Amino acid sequence: MSQHGQSFMRGTLVLSVAAFINRILGFISGMYIARVLGAEGIGILMMAHPLVPLVITITELGLPVAISKLVAEAHARGERMKVRRILHVSLAVTGFLSIALTTITLLGSEWIASILLSDQRAYYAMLAITPIAPIVAVSAVLKGYFRGVQQMKTIAASDVLEHTVQIACVLALVHLLLPYGVAYAAAGAMAASVISEMISLLFLVTSYKLFGESRMPGETWASHLKQGRSTLGELLQIGLPTTGHGIIHSLYSTFQPLLITTSLALAGVGTALATKQFGMLAGYAFPLLFMPSFITQSLSTALIPAIGEAAANKNSLLIHERMNQALNLGLLIGAPATVILYEWATPLTTLVYNAPEAGLLLKILAPMFFLHYFDAPLHAILLGLGRAQATLWNYVIATAFKAVTIYILGSQMGIVGVAYGIGIGIVIQTLLNFYSISNSIGFYWNIRPYVKVGISMLLMAISGHWIYQYVTSHGMPEVWCVTTSIVCSLFLYFAALVFTGTLTWKSSRHRFSIPW
C-alpha cells in the first residue's frame, strides 16, 4: 500500500475509533438526560433543537467539504499562501453569515417560537442553543482544513474533548436548574452543548496556531479577502451542490416536531402527552436505533473517494467490488442490530431509560430501520459516482412521502402511526437509492449471502428469546438477563455465519474475511 493509502486508512481508523467513543459518551449523556428530565423534558429538547441545524447548514454553504478538497490539492502543490487564503475566505464567509443569522434568530425568537413550538416551554431551550451556530460553523471550517492536510488525530481529539466536556456540563447544569422546572433544566442541557462546542473550538484554534500553516511575510486579512474572489468561486462551486440536501433536511427537521404534534392533536392527544410521546420517539427509540450505524457512517466517509477513484479510472469491476463490500458490511452489522432492537425492545428501553412504554415504538421501527444500515453506503456510492443530484431528489421524494404518511397515520393511529410513517420514509429512501445506482452502473445481487444471514438472524432471535425467558424464570436481575441473552445469541449468530461459510478465518492474515 502506498504511503498516501496508509495515511488515508490510518485517518479512517482514527475517526472510526473517535466516532465509537463519542457515540458511547453521547449515549451516556442522553441516558442521564432522559432519566432526569423524563419523556416530557426530552420532548421539549427535541422541539427546541431543529432550528439550529438549519442556521448552521445555511452558514456553512457546504464549505467544509470544499475546504478539505481544495486544501489537500494546494497543500500537495506546496501552495502555502493559497491554503491560508482558503481558510481566511471561508472563515470570513461563515463567520459573517453565522453571526448575522444567529442575531436575526435571537431578535425574532418570540415570533419563531410562536410558529414552530407547539409547546412554549421549549422557548428557553431554543434560546440557550441558538448561540451554538457561529461556534459550530467556525469549527467546521477548521476541521475542513485539518482533513485537507490529513491531520485526523486533531479532529478526533477535538470531538472526544467536546463530548467529554458536554457530559460534565450536562451533569452540572441539569442538576442545578432542575429545581426551577423541566423547561429550565432542558435549557441547561442545551447550554451544555454550547459550552462543549466552545471548548472544542478553542482546542482547534490552539492546534492550528501550533501546527497550522505559518504566517507569510506581508500577509493580512485584507489582502486575502481582496484576492479571494476566485477562491470563493472555487469553494462555492464545490460547496453549493451539497448544501441543498442539508437545507431540505434541516427544514424538515425544524418542522417535524410541529408536524408530529399536530397529527397527534388530530388523534385527540393533548399537548403535554404529545410532547411526552414525541420525546419517547426522538429521545428514547432513535438513539438506540442509530447506535450501531457509526461503523457504516465511517465506512461511507472512506467510500466516496474510493468509488470516485474507481469511476475516474472507469474500473466498473472495482466499483462493484467496493459496493458489494460496503453492502455486505452493512448487512453483517444491521442484521444482529435489528434482531437485538426488536427482540429486546422493551427490556432495553426499561433498563436504559426506565421507559417500558417506549419499547413498542422501538419494536415497530427496528425491522424497517434495517434498511438504514444500507442507506449511508448507498448515498456515498452515488456521491462517488457524481450523482449528487440523484441523492437530493431521492431525499426530497422520500421526505415528502414520509411527511404525508406521518400526518395521515399519526392523525389516525397516534404515536404508533407516526413511527410507521418514519419507518416507511426510511424504506422508500433506501429503495430509491438502490434504484438510482442500478440505473447508473447496474446492480448484481447475489442472494445466497442474504439467505445465510437471514437464517442466522432467525437462529439468533429464537435462541435469544428462549435464553431470555429461561434466565428470567430463574430470578436473575434484569440487567443480567438482557446481557446474558444478547451475548449468547450474538455468539450463536456469528457461529452460524462461520458454519455456513459466510465468515471464514484466514490464518495467514489473522482476521475474519467475507468471501462474498
- Residue 324: half-sphere exposure toward Cβ, Cα within 13 Å: 17
pTM: 0.68
Residue 510: its pLDDT value, please?
39
* pLDDT less than 50: residues of the chain: 1-8, 507-516
User: Do residues 277 and 46 lie in contact, with contact meaning Cβ atoms separated by under 8 Å?
Assistant: no
Residue 214: its pLDDT value, please?
61
- The residues, ordered by sequence, that sit 6+ positions from 23 with a Cβ below 8 Å of its Cβ are 291, 294
Beta-bridge partner residues of 513: 504
Gap between the Cα atoms of 217 and 91, Å rounded: 20
Is the Cα torsion angle 494, 498, 501, 506 positive or negative in sign? positive
Residue 117: its pLDDT value, please?
67
Residue 13: its pLDDT value, please?
67
User: Cell 455456513 belongs to which residue?
Assistant: 500
User: Do residues 456 and 496 lie in contact, with contact meaning Cβ atoms separated by under 8 Å?
Assistant: yes
Residue 313, Cβ density class (10 Å: 0-12 exposed, 13-18 middle, ≥19 buried): exposed
Gap between the Cα atoms of 61 and 313, Å rounded: 30
Residue 507: its pLDDT value, please?
36
User: Cell 422508500 belongs to which residue?
Assistant: 428
Within 98-246, strands assigned E span: none
User: Do residues 338 and 370 lie in contact, with contact meaning Cβ atoms separated by under 8 Å?
Assistant: yes
Residue 459: its pLDDT value, please?
92
- The residues, ordered by sequence, that sit 6+ positions from 401 with a Cβ below 8 Å of its Cβ are 424, 425, 428
Q: Which three cell numbers stand for residue 486?
A: 444478547
Residue 2: its pLDDT value, please?
40
User: Do residues 364 and 420 lie in contact, with contact meaning Cβ atoms separated by under 8 Å?
Assistant: yes
Residue 490: its pLDDT value, please?
92
User: Cell 452558514 belongs to which residue?
Assistant: 59
